[in-house]
Amino acid sequence: MLRYIFRRLGISVLVLFGAATLVFVLTINSGDPLADLRETSADNRDELIEARIRTMGLDKPWYERYAEWLRGAVGCVVPGMQCDLGVTNQGQDVLALTESAMSATLRLVIGATVLAIIVGVAVGILSAVRKYSGFDYVITFGAFIFFSLPVFWAAVLLKEYGAIRFNDWIADPRMSVTQMIIIALITGLVLQFALGGDPRRRLLTAGAAFAVVLAALAYFDADNWFRDPSMGLGVVILVSAGAGVLVTSLVTGFSERRVLYAALTTVGAGAVITFALQDVLEDGGYALLAGLFVLTVAVSVAIGAAWGGHMRRQAMLVAWVTGVIMSVVVVMDYAVSHWSAMLELKPRPVLTIGALSPNFEGDFWERFLDTGTQLLLPTVLLTLISVASYSRYTRSSMLEVMEQDYIRTARAKGVSERAVITKHAFRNALIPLTTIVAFDFASLISGAVVTEQVFGWRGMGQMFINGLRAVDPMPVMSFVLVTGAAAVLMNLAADIMYGYLDPRIRR
């Protein structure tokens, strides 16, 4: 396995080198780097041109400039050498630019990838299990629409409806009865499509969902909940316990009580920890959250191991997944309870420009919400586009797997349909998907370039576009280096996932 990975890594580095050379040659030949200065009417025009030729090294042949860049870029990976990505045509250090741009872009791309995998796999499996149902057709049609959507057009639409109109609405969040009924109706329709069953059950699902959503919206509206929302520990425990039950039902079913107890104990322990630490949590901090996250996983794995018995592995899995879901819910609870305070500081919560609001002063949770609201729309956009392809691939590979002989064998020996899908089919259906996700990463970055442009983020995409417009190779090369390295890492992760999903490869 290790030899295999190193071989793959070696090939990737070679390919990356070839691609970098290609991009460098094309970029420096794509236009005139002095065009803006030639047209300027400034008195010291010749001196300006002279200065830029010196900063960019235009008096040297291209291979010398390329070799110089390469030496500095290799230094970023090899320890003990100076990391140097050159300077822009204005003489700014590209390494510093890249560092600040990278954090914004990676936050966007990684968030979108994770969300897209979770949603895409879930939707894909559901539509494979309910193939040729109304749900499947709706999902298929939706996927086609998102494939065919121009990203920038959708981005501008989202900016208008998700940001500007939402901000108008949140200033005085009132809902008319018609709006409530429409939202409740849509929720009911979607849920009955997704859950399926015979007409009677579908009607029941739709009716129940309709009633619950309508009641909730009426309560929210009367309580001014949209401006001043709160969840409280009770809701947190309820939601987490529900998630625990759901995860248990997917992984092992309820015939084995130990696993269910492990999940519920995790929720209990989580509730105790959250209650005990509420003062610390109120102050917040990313390091604290990360530490607590690690602690949660460790504790829940221990709980799973303690309850497990002969179901140890499954109990540990269910416990830590429940623990992770619970920590997300707790974070949401804290964030939500600071919403009204943030609205005071930032009356129009979703700005259409920038990754962070300028001059925003607030405590940790308010800044957290600020980052979140700015991240929301671009992430949603990128996610939707990737979800379209992931769900299609998951569906087709799931359908393929369900045709296999071992699935028929499993069914024939009386394994329940749940276990057939989650244990025998799911894992095998994921194998082709890992390749797609790693491969799709490059197109996600293309999407990020466009979204950053529309939403005015100062990220890698903007650096690339500005660099290319000015025929300034260093920022362009640094973009290619970072995205290429990220793609190589994604492929490496996919290779390791292969080994995990298909033990035959591990040898």
Angle among Cα 293, 299, 303 to the nearest 5 degrees reads: 140
Answer for which of 5, 6, 10, 22 binds other proteins (CB under 8 A) is 22
Does 77 engage in binding with other proteins (CB under 8 A)? no
Site string for other proteins, 26-45 (x = CB under 8 A): xx-xxx--------------
Whole-number Å distance between alpha carbons of 308 and 256: 10
Determine the straight-line distance between the first and last CA of the chain, rounded to whole angstroms: 6
Site string for other proteins, 177-206 (x = CB under 8 A): ------------------------------
Binding residues among 447-466 for other proteins as defined by CB under 8 A:
449-450, 453, 464-465
Q: What is the b/e burial string over 139-151, where b = at least 16 CB atoms within 10 angstroms of the residue's CB?
A: bbebbeebeebeb
Site string for other proteins, 146-165 (x = CB under 8 A): -xxxxxxx--xx--x---x-
* Contact in structure between 85 and 73 (CB atoms under 8 Å): yes
**Cβ within 8 Å of residue 493, ≥6 positions away:** 438
CA 356 to chain CA centroid, Å, is 18
Our CB check for other proteins shows the closer of 29 and 178 to be 29
Our CB check for other proteins shows the closer of 32 and 198 to be 32
Instruction: Quote the least distance from Cβ 22 to other proteins, whole Å.
Output: 5
CA 229 to chain CA centroid, Å, is 25
* Contact in structure between 315 and 259 (CB atoms under 8 Å): yes
Q: What is the b/e burial string over 409-419, where b = at least 16 CB atoms within 10 angstroms of the residue's CB?
A: ebeeeeeeeeb
Our CB check for other proteins shows the closer of 76 and 302 to be 76
Does 15 engage in binding with other proteins (CB under 8 A)? yes
Whole-number Å distance between alpha carbons of 198 and 104: 47
Our CB check for other proteins shows the closer of 26 and 203 to be 26
Binding residues among 92-131 for other proteins as defined by CB under 8 A:
131
Instruction: Quote the least distance from Cβ 72 to other proteins, whole Å.
Output: 20
Instruction: Quote the least distance from Cβ 147 to other proteins, whole Å.
Output: 6
Choose the binding region for other proteins from 184-192, 259-267, 330-338, 469-477 (rule: CB under 8 A): 469-477
The 3-class SS string of 183-194 reads: HHHHHHHHHHHH
Count of helices and strands (H, E) across the chain: 23, 0
Does 483 engage in binding with other proteins (CB under 8 A)? yes
Phi, psi values for residue 116, rounded to 5°: -65, -35
Binding residues among 240-259 for other proteins as defined by CB under 8 A:
none
Does 405 engage in binding with other proteins (CB under 8 A)? no
Q: Residue 372 is which amino acid? A: G
Instruction: Quote the least distance from Cβ 78 to other proteins, whole Å.
Output: 21
Binding site for other proteins (CB under 8 A): 15-16, 18-19, 22-23, 26-27, 29-31, 131-132, 144-145, 147-153, 156-157, 160, 164, 396, 399, 403, 442-443, 445-446, 449-450, 453, 464-465, 468-469, 471, 476, 479-480, 483-484, 487
